[in-house]
Amino acid sequence: MRRVRWYPLGAAVLSAALAAGLTLGLRDEPRTYGYHRCDRGAVCFFSEPDGNGEMCAWTGDDPDWLAGAARCPWTRTDPVRSVFNNNQETTAAHDVAYFRGADWRPAGFDLRRDTRRTGCTAVNQQGNLQGGYAPRSHRWVRHC
């Protein structure tokens, strides 16, 4: 009677499974969550913490998120919960300032702030925003 050797067979099956797993893990598919969705050179605003949820992205200034060339309609009713400035110093003005009013005007509480803006995020920074941030315009600035 012939004996079956399980060790070589098991090793072959294990090797095939590992190769398949590595191949699947290395696929270059676009991801649909997190800060890594934000392209190089852009600033991205998200509807949820940690770069999750809906995203709006720009590489230039935008005087009105609700009526400009690139629109961000979810900000009409929902606050911005996170931001990523992925400019990577591709321009001289690489920090991004954002405002509650259209045309980079302060509105609401921002009128009482010294900076007269909602916030500013330095180049290559990302993070969660606390409170009810509701920007309506942004522009690139040299320094926050």
Tens-digit pLDDT profile for residues 52-77: 999 999 999 999 999 978 899 999 99
- Does the pTM surpass 0.85? The reply is no
pLDDT at 5 over 80: no
pLDDT at 24 over 70: no
pLDDT of residue 69: 82
Closest-CA residue to 45 (of 36, 35, 55): 55
Residue 63: how many CB atoms within 10 A of its CB?
17
CATH classification of 35-141 is 3.40.190.10, yes or no? Answer: no
Sketch the domain layout of the chain as residue ranges: 35-141
Percentage, residues of the chain above pLDDT 90: 60
Backbone torsions φ then ψ of 12, nearest 5 degrees: -65, -45
pLDDT at 25 over 80: no
Closest-CA residue to 66 (of 52, 55, 77, 82): 77
Residues 55, 83: Cα–Cα separation, whole Å: 9
6 three-class SS = helix
Closest-CA residue to 82 (of 119, 107, 30, 112): 119
